[in-house]
């Protein structure tokens, strides 16, 4: 199954299904007939998989490994990649292939975007999070100590391959991470929000999410308006992750320091529903629907213990969607949409209702 992301000037395909990794060489050759070299960037755990060893490209290529975890999304990794590209003789007409999850596509996409002021990148996405969200849409980036994804570019890939066979190697934490993103798609798109996505086959779930994201990206590539809906649940989710990064840097072993991205987004979805209810935008039944979808995916909407509402509010105020005020993506009578100028007192009250300390 192919979904086209119809962006200007170069639309590209997202190829979905079991075994689609085997199309990598043919598609790269067709898209870049003049490329003479490739660099494949992945992580150690992916490189150990039997299917990775069977990947082939017709042009000469070398493999570069990057680190795991959000701590690897930094300028040091970007410098390492760009210097490796120089050492390996990568030219502007060549290609970088990212093989892995959302972290890999974020980092590799950013490095490819700035190396020689832009070389082509292709992603073979191997996690549920990557396949339904992170690998699609051209948002690349790295973290700063002050927050997630604060440095990056809008640079579209040349091709994305979502081989659902590669998901069989994921552990339960990685599945939860992807399902946290998948949960938001139950509230996006033209269909009436419902629990239907819970009963779909995996390929159908991936296709549904990709099709919705492709439509949104095509309508608003650079997130000037409508694309913000894709950040549903992310304002608090990113704040939780930012607090976790800070605590981890201090040597803390608090539960928040080990939360997966999708787990943080799940909490963010539960919070967004409660905030929207407090603001009179949705009713109790809609809040319950959010809870049912999270529970159906085996996710918790509970805020991690011992977090400060004031610290979370400060982190949310630095969110990329903020325009010198508090901006949230919230459900409402017109569906999910950005809402600016939200009263901080309401936000703090909602957080404390969920168990945050002042």
Catalytic pick among 176, 227, 277, 281? 227
Catalytic pick among 261, 277, 281, 290? 261
Catalytic pick among 213, 274, 277, 320? 213
Report how far residue 13's alpha carbon sits from residue 159's, in angstroms, rounded to the nearest whole number: 6
**Quick check: is 139 catalytic?**
yes
Catalytic pick among 238, 277, 281, 320? 238
Catalytic pick among 21, 234, 290, 320? 234
Report how far residue 112's alpha carbon sits from residue 32's, in angstroms, rounded to the nearest whole number: 15
Q: Is the dihedral of CA 63, 67, 73, 79 positive or negative?
A: negative
Catalytic pick among 70, 181, 221, 263? 181
Catalytic pick among 117, 172, 192, 324? 117
Catalytic pick among 70, 231, 241, 274? 231
Angle of the 75-87 helix axis to the 102-114 helix axis, nearest 10: 60
**Quick check: is 181 catalytic?**
yes
Report how far residue 35's alpha carbon sits from residue 94's, in angstroms, rounded to the nearest whole number: 5
Catalytic pick among 221, 223, 241, 263? 223
CB neighbours of residue 68 within 10 Å = 15
**Quick check: is 324 catalytic?**
no
Contact partners, residue 194, CB within 8 Å, separation at least 6? 186, 289
DSSP letter (8 states) at residue 236: H
**Quick check: is 213 catalytic?**
yes
**Quick check: is 231 catalytic?**
yes
Catalytic pick among 139, 148, 179, 281? 139
**Quick check: is 234 catalytic?**
yes
Q: What pairing do the DSSP bridges indicate for beta strands 12-17 and 2-5? A: antiparallel
Long-range contacts of 246-249 (CB under 8 A, 24+ apart): 246/145, 248/71, 249/145
Show which residues are catalytic. Answer: 117, 139, 181, 213, 223, 227, 231, 234, 238, 261
């Amino acid at each position: 199954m192919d979904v086209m992301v119809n962006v200007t000037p170069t639309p590209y395909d997202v190829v979905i299904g079991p075994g689609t990794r085997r199309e990598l060489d043919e598609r790269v050759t067709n898209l870049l007939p003049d490329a003479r070299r490739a660099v494949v960037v992945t992580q150690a755990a992916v490189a150990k998989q039997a299917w990775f060893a069977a990947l082939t490209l017709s042009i000469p290529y070398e493999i570069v490994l990057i680190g795991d975890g959000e701590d690897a999304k930094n300028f040091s990794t970007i410098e390492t990649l760009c210097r490796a590209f120089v050492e390996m003789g990568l030219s502007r007409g060549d290609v970088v292939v990212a093989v892995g999850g959302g972290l890999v596509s974020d980092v590799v996409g950013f490095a490819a975007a700035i190396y020689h002021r832009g070389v082509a990148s292709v992603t073979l996405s191997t996690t549920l999070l990557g396949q339904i969200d992170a690998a699609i849409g051209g948002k690349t980036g790295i973290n700063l100590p002050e927050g997630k994804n604060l440095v990056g570019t809008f640079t579209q890939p040349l091709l994305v391959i979502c081989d659902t066979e590669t998901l069989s190697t994921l552990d339960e934490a990685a599945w939860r991470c992807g399902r946290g993103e998948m949960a938001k798609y139950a509230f996006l798109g033209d269909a009436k929000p419902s629990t239907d996505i819970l009963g779909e086959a995996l390929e159908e779930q991936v296709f549904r999410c990709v099709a919705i994201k492709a439509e949104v990206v095509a309508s608003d590539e650079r997130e000037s308006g409508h694309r913000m809906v894709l950040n549903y649940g992310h304002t608090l989710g990113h704040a939780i992750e930012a607090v976790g990064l800070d605590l981890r840097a201090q040597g803390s072993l608090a539960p928040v320091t080990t939360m997966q991205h999708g787990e943080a987004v799940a909490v963010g979805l539960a919070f967004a529903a409660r905030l929207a209810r407090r603001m009179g935008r949705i009713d109790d039944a809609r809040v319950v629907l959010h809870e049912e979808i999270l529970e159906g995916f085996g996710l918790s909407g509970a805020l991690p213990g011992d977090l400060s509402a004031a610290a979370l509010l400060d982190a949310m105020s630095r969110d990329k969607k903020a325009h010198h005020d508090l901006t949230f993506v919230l459900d409402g009578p017109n569906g999910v949409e950005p809402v600016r100028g939200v009263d901080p007192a309401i936000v703090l009250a909602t957080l404390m209702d969920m168990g945050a300390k002042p």
